Structure 1
Amino acid sequence: MALSQWFDKGLTAQQYIAGMKVNKEAMNTIYEGFTLADEEKQALMAVADAGLTAIVLTEDWCGDAMINNPILLNIAEEINMDVRFVLRDSNLELMDQYLTNGTSRAIPIFIFIDQEGNEKAVWGPRAPRLQELVMEKRATLPDKEDPSFEEKQKAVYKGLGETYQIDASLWHAVADSIINTLVAKK
């Protein structure tokens, strides 16, 4: 299926948010709390007239989607870019074309397409700063065979989710990463 067909199949932001069962409140908190900085708005001017649209491969349970999706929606509003959400777990045919490191179905993945339906840029699943933070936190975990591993892993991910909701510097790290990807591919 062509990317433009995947876009057409996707949910609008309103449909996606209305159907969310997990992380809805947290995502809305980030969406409402985030404002693009003047420098970010200025950088976006380079792609404001590019006629791009975005396909978001996502699931509502994903902590990375919780922080990244609302930042993308703010960017999209700034440049009048239409965004559609495609649920990963029921659309593996598309997901498997955008594996992280060729093996992982990590999400979210943002696929930016032009008016002809051609892929112009791909972003995800994390901004470099968030990846560093996640790796730093994972490094504190015991060996996977340790009986406490699962409990401690849950605690790490819970803590990351809480940090994602309150640390505006992370929100801007995400925005800058997305913007840099868009501008680099214009």
Structure 2
Amino acid sequence: MKASIAKALFKSYSYPEYRKIVTDLLLEEKSTGNEQSEELTNYSHLNETRMNRLEKTLKVSDEVSQKLKSLRKDYLWLVISEGWCGDAAQLLPVFNKMAVASEGKIELKVVLRDENLELMDLFLTNKGRAIPKLILINRATGGALAHWGPRPKGASDLIQNYKKEHGVVDEKAKTDLQLWYLHDKGISTQNELLDMMLDIDTVDDHEK
């Protein structure tokens, strides 16, 4: 696994670099990823607007900030994403704000899924290449310690329940999901990621 992570990190981007790649492609009416379609480009445009809004409105609570700054070790969050992914657009700004709030304890790096399928296939969700996927890496050793995604629990439950009832994930389900994110304001994601970080940070190196 370390080799796959090292390979992906070589092709990784900082959060601002990732945003610029998506924006520059949209100027050519393209999306990231191997597949190109009008639908995916439209999703990317929509996501660009969402991310711009979230970057202005999202807040990391003082309590979460304090706990992130108090982590004993240094970590890397390696996130698998694509510009057309609605969940990634809602969650990447949260990841970025948390990494900034940690004041150096967490470094955020982003890779594109279709360029890193070897890595993606190590972190499947129900046998699918669902994104975003956040991989927690010990910065000192380069080893993967845990992973999170593609959605916080409340959002996952919403989609699973909808699918159970209607048999499909249609546009109505996607709208309901975006409304869930809007009302949640990134709080569930912050809490889940913080719990994961604190659990890992309390484990001694020799126990891993």
Offset of 1:6 from its aligned partner?
A: 1.8
What is the deviation of 1:111?
1.0
Partner residue in 2 for 1:131: 156
Q: Which has the higher contact order (CA 8 A, sep 6+)?
A: 1
Residue 60 of structure 1 is matched in structure 2 by: 83
What per-residue deviation string (whole Å, max 9, x for no partner) do you get for residues 118-176 of structure 1?
112211111112212223443452x45xxxxx7xx122213422442x32x35100111
- Answering whether residue 178 of structure 2 is matched by residue 161 of structure 1, we say yes
Shift of the 92–116 alpha-carbon distance from structure 1 to 2, 3 Å rule, reads same
Matched, 1:185 2:200: yes
Structure 1 match to 2:50: 26
- 8 A Cα contact 1:10 1:84, kept in partner: yes
1:38 aligns with 2:55: no
| TM-score, length-scaled by structure 2 | 0.75
Letter in 1 for 2:16: Q
Using the TM superposition, give the Cα deviation of residue 66 of structure 1 relative to its aligned residue in structure 2, in angstroms: 1.3
TM-score, L = length of structure 1: 0.83
User: Partners of 2:78 and 2:197 in 1: how far apart?
Assistant: 14
Query: 1:170 and 1:136, CA in 2 relative to 1: closer, same or farther beyond 3 A?
Result: farther
Per-residue displacement from partner, 1:50-93 (whole Å, max 9, x unpaired)?
A: 22112110111112111111111011001122211111122111
Q: Which amino acid aligns with 1:17?
A: R
- Give the letter aligned to residue 6 of structure 1: A
SS in 2 for 1:76: helix
d(CA) in 2 for partners of 1:52 and 1:62? 25
- Counterparts of 1:158 and 1:30 in 2: how far apart (Å)? 17
Which secondary structure does the structure 2 equivalent of 1:72 belong to?
A: helix
Match of 1:3 in 2: 5
Q: Is the 8 A contact 2:155 2:180 kept in 1?
A: no
Alignment counterpart, residue 100 of structure 1, candidates 114, 120, 125: 125
Q: Report which stretch shifted further, 1-10 or 56-65.
A: 1-10
* Map 1:101-120 → 2, pairs under 5 A: 101=126, 103-114=127-138, 115-120=140-145
Would you say 1:171 and 2:177 are equivalent positions? no
The CA distance in 1 between the partners of 2:70 and 2:163, in whole Å, is: 37
Q: Tell me the distance in 1 between the aligned counterparts of 2:63 and 2:164.
A: 34
Unaligned runs of at least 5 residues, structure 1? 145-149
Query: Is this contact kept in 1: 2:155–2:177, CA < 8 A?
Result: no
Q: Between Structure 1 and Structure 2, how many residues are aligned?
A: 174
- The answer on whether the counterparts of 2:79 and 2:111 sit within 8 Å (CA) in structure 1 is yes
* In 1: Cα distance, 2:128 partner to 2:55 partner: 27
The alignment's C-alpha RMSD in Å is 2.0
Q: Which runs of 5+ in 2 are unaligned?
A: 27-43, 202-208
8 Å Cα contact 1:54/1:110 also seen in 2: yes
| Counterpart pick for 2:18 among 16, 19, 36 | 16
